[in-house]
Amino acid sequence: MNREHRGPNEKLGTLLAAAGISNAGLARRVNDLGAQRGLTLRYDKTSVARWVAKGMVPQGAAPHLIAAAIGAKLGRPVPLHEIGLADADPAPEVGLAFPRDVGEAVKSATDLWRLDLAGRRGPGGGGIWQSLAGSFAVSAYVTPASRWLITPADATVARDAPAPGMNHVGHNDVSKLREAAEDARRWDSKYGGGDWRSGMVPECLRVEAAPLLLGSYSDDVGRALFGATAELTRLAGWMAFDTGQQEAAQRYYIQALRLARAAADVPLGGYVLASMSLQATYRNFSDEGVDLAQAALERNRGLATARTMSFFHLVEARAHAKAGEAAACGASLAAAEALLERSRDGDADPQWLGFYSYDRLAADAAECYRDLRIPRQVQRFTEQALAKPTEEFVRSHGLRLVVSAVAELESGNLDAACAAGTKAVEVAGRISSARTTEYVRDLLHRLEPYNDEPRVLELRERARPLLAAPA
């Protein structure tokens, strides 16, 4: 259904012409995007003509789908105001800004937290992220990364005048947020980003962190507060990424980077950029993945610990491998390994890096060589990664098993591939991780030439409940 808008929508018409999209073409794209979200839309060229010539405003998710369709053709995010639909729900813009002002940064982050909570409580549980699915644009990371590189720390974040009813914030308040972040990290590693407890992170941000950010605090306490909040926000993004909600993850990462800048925590900002890099690489934007990882490295030279820099090099290697750049990948892996060997237990490593050890380096190296199609190296590093299975990192163990299965398959060892795949399916069934399920799906796709083999048929049968489960 449409509602009246005053006069022709010249903005929409102009942008359609710039994108080279016809009225029929836009209608088709909007219908297709809607179908991907479970919506049955029947727009046609006449519908689009009404939007442009008569200024009719489509209701529901349509304005967001129009923006996503045009943005996909232009290769950049398209805000609603640019297509003359600013009076529709502004959800697509929330969380994408990287304000220069600290006060505006707080507003940008808290607006996102409220939006996500409303989305989780919305009909069907998919909320706003279901309507925005497909709106991820790697170009949205350009401005945040550039502004962080130029100025990775705000001059001051002290806040003297709390809002009515807000209290003075102390280090004890910050400690509670850090404890929440640590607890959430453990749950995420053990049960996956889709575990019901993952909803506690946005809830904590909205209920606990937001009132503190609006309180009063010294510069010292404020820096710590912004740092703890940035950790929680990055973690919310990581959980969204793990459950396949790429649009939510992107917005959380951008806000986490802005909060890390307010914290004057350059290594933490680098960690957020590394998370952005992993997402870009996962989405097949390997060049941008390299850029984001190198941004993290460049700003942290001489600041971050050896183990922190090792992880950033490892993320860089992942992007190089996805791009098929074997030499560059090898150099990054060598740098990551050398730095990890230089690290010592007494180093001032950040708490959020507690997951990173040689096991993780070996696991990611195996994925690098999988992307480079060198199965012998995949097997070598996967054996090291799986040498010490632990209940603490269940999801990682499942991912490593899938990578091992792929390596065995590419080496011609069908029995070993199916055995590893069976173990991976068992692990994946114990957690809630769309990413792990996607890895299993990819393995089964690679096994299609052997569909007549009883071992493969048995593996497919075991995986059926996992693949049939709702996302």
Q: Could you give the CA distance from residue 199 to residue 171 in angstroms, rounded to a whole number?
A: 25
32 or 325: which carries more pLDDT confidence?
325
Amino acid at the residue 121: R
pLDDT digits (tens, 9 = 90+) for 142-194: 999 999 999 999 999 999 866 666 679 999 999 999 999 999 888 888 878 76
pTM of the model: 0.81
Do 68 and 250 meet the contact criterion of CB atoms below 8 Å apart?
A: no
Q: Could you give the CA distance from residue 274 to residue 285 in angstroms, rounded to a whole number?
A: 14
Q: How far apart are the first and last CA of the chain?
A: 29
Q: Could you give the CA distance from residue 263 to residue 247 in angstroms, rounded to a whole number?
A: 25
pLDDT digits (tens, 9 = 90+) for 6-63: 689 999 999 999 999 999 999 999 888 777 654 678 899 999 999 999 888 887 678 8
Give the Cβ contact number of residue 388 at 10 Å: 11
Q: Given this model, what pLDDT does residue 125 score?
A: 43
Q: Could you give the CA distance from residue 31 to residue 41 in angstroms, rounded to a whole number?
A: 5
Q: Could you give the CA distance from residue 49 to residue 305 in angstroms, rounded to a whole number?
A: 58
pLDDT digits (tens, 9 = 90+) for 52-111: 998 888 876 788 788 888 988 888 878 778 898 876 655 557 888 999 999 999 999 999
pLDDT digits (tens, 9 = 90+) for 282-322: 999 999 999 999 999 999 999 999 999 999 999 999 999 99
Amino acid at the residue 405: A
Which residues lie below 8 Å from residue 445, measured CB to CB, with a gap of 6+?
A: none
Q: Could you give the count of Cα atoms lying within 13 Å of 407 in the half-sphere of its Cβ? A: 26
Q: Given this model, what pLDDT does residue 295 score?
A: 97
Q: Could you give the CA distance from residue 285 to residue 26 in angstroms, rounded to a whole number?
A: 25
Q: Where are the domains of the chain?
A: 2-91, 94-126+157-263, 386-471
Instruction: State the CATH architecture for 2-91.
Output: Orthogonal Bundle (1.10)
